[in-house]
Amino acid sequence: MGTTLFSGCSSFSWKCYQQQLSPSCSFLHSSPENGISRPKSVTSSTGNGLADKEKDDSWGILSRRSLLISGISLSSSSVFGFPGEGLAVVKQGLLAGRIPGLSEPDEQGWSTYRRPDDKSGGHGVGWSPIIPYSFKVPQGWEEVPVSIADLGGTEIDLRFANSKQGRLFVIVAPVLRFADNLGDDATIQKIGPPEKVINAFGPEVIGENVEGKVLSMKTAEHDGRMYYQYELEPPHALITATAAVNRLYLFSVTGSGLQWKRHYEDLKKIAESFRVV
């Protein structure tokens, strides 16, 4: 809605700019009473040709300024004429595609994020909807935009961050990228044992080979689903991996050395809270 509004203003201003001084564009042809006079025609006399050219140039600048001001005025009056509704329109436009999924804090100050069922995302035609996942974060963590320039590309489904504590992201990748015999009932066990999974997919998470960086690995089962959990250093990272239907889920929690030292227990709790619903 917000995008349509601004596009309409731009289109209107551009048409008037193309027509410039035509009578159909009324805001460019104000009468002398409103402070802007019509442009004078250019004469062919060589004596005053330069002066007339300067006048025409000045009028061109004035016209462009009038166009710009008029465009802004139209946009402002349309969007901000009703403060509550106008601001809501702009906010809705800026946050298109980002659907909140964070619960209110519990008694300990922790909130649960659950991927909304209606959130966009996927890997092309023919793929089933992404099965929702969830995790817990303490107060101060917020969702941040995902860029197509990210290392994980379109397979990074979500990012969260807290400037004082650390960062996390979720990769949701088609299992067909890694094996073509898993069907639509993939499990992390079918993909491979913990060592194979971290060696194969660790570079997807940290951007480099994981050899010599894995401090620990363990498994955990929740509601019949197996999860592989790893701690890497350097860089500091806690990774949880699992699979469901035809997708592999990689959940990574990371932070700087200072963040790791101060908030390790909370970061570990975040990593271990990841579940595929």
Q: Do 159 and 236 belong together in one domain? A: yes
> Model confidence at 76, in pLDDT bands (50, 70, 90)?
very low
Q: What is the pairing mode between strands 156-162 and 247-254?
A: unpaired
Determine the average pLDDT of the residues in 190-201.
94
- What crossing angle do the helices spanning 83-94 and 2-19 adopt, rounded to 10°? 100
Q: Do 34 and 163 belong together in one domain? A: no
Q: Do 118 and 221 belong together in one domain? A: yes
Q: Do 173 and 241 belong together in one domain? A: yes
3-state helix, strand, coil in the chain (%, to 5): 40, 25, 40
Domain range enclosing 21:
2-94
Q: Is residue 124 over pLDDT 80? A: no
Q: Do 85 and 172 belong together in one domain? A: no
Report if residue 24 sits inside a domain. yes
Q: What is the pLDDT of residue 136?
A: 98
CA distance 70 to 77: 10
Cβ density class 104-123: b for 16+ within 10 Å, e for less: eeeeeebbbbebeeebeeeb
Strands (E), the chain: 110-114, 133-138, 142-143, 156-162, 166-174, 214-222, 225-232, 237-244, 247-254, 275-276
At which of 30, 61, 94 does a domain end? 94
Phi, psi of 178 (to 5 degrees): -115, -25
> Model confidence at 94, in pLDDT bands (50, 70, 90)?
very low
Report if residue 104 sits inside a domain. no
Report if residue 58 sits inside a domain. yes
At which of 94, 127, 152 does a domain end? 94
Determine the average pLDDT of the residues in 163-188.
89
CA distance 249 to 178: 13
Q: What average pLDDT does the structure give for the chain?
A: 73
Q: Do 87 and 191 belong together in one domain? A: no
Q: What is the pLDDT of residue 129?
A: 80
Q: Do 90 and 143 belong together in one domain? A: no
Evaluate whether 167 touches 152 at the Cβ level (below 8 Å): no
CB atoms within 10 A of CB 236: 20
CA distance 65 to 160: 43
> Model confidence at 9, in pLDDT bands (50, 70, 90)?
very low
Residue that wins the pLDDT comparison between 159 and 86: 159
Report if residue 197 sits inside a domain. yes
Q: Do 29 and 161 belong together in one domain? A: no
Strands (E), 80-224: 110-114, 133-138, 142-143, 156-162, 166-174, 214-222
Report if residue 171 sits inside a domain. yes
Q: What is the pLDDT of residue 127?
A: 61
For residue 169, the cross-strand partners are 159, 252
Residue that wins the pLDDT comparison between 166 and 118: 166
At which of 61, 94, 127 does a domain end? 94
Tokens encoding 114: 């659950």
CA distance 141 to 143: 7
Q: What is the pLDDT of residue 83?
A: 37
Determine the average pLDDT of the residues in 35-47.
45
Report if residue 272 sits inside a domain. yes
Determine the average pLDDT of the residues in 66-70.
41
> Model confidence at 14, in pLDDT bands (50, 70, 90)?
very low
CATH code at 269?
3.40.1000.10
- Which pTM does this prediction carry? 0.64
Share of the chain above pLDDT 70, in %: 59
Q: Do 244 and 119 belong together in one domain? A: yes
Number of domains forming the structure of the chain = 2
Report if residue 252 sits inside a domain. yes
Q: What is the pLDDT of residue 67?
A: 38
Q: Do 127 and 247 belong together in one domain? A: yes
Q: Do 210 and 264 belong together in one domain? A: yes
Q: Do 70 and 134 belong together in one domain? A: no
Q: In what order do the strands lie in the sheet with 275-276?
A: 110-114, 133-138, 275-276
CA distance 131 to 140: 26
Residue that wins the pLDDT comparison between 228 and 48: 228
Report if residue 105 sits inside a domain. no
Lowest mean pLDDT among 89-98, 130-139, 156-165: 89-98
CA distance 16 to 66: 11
Determine the average pLDDT of the residues in 99-103.
83
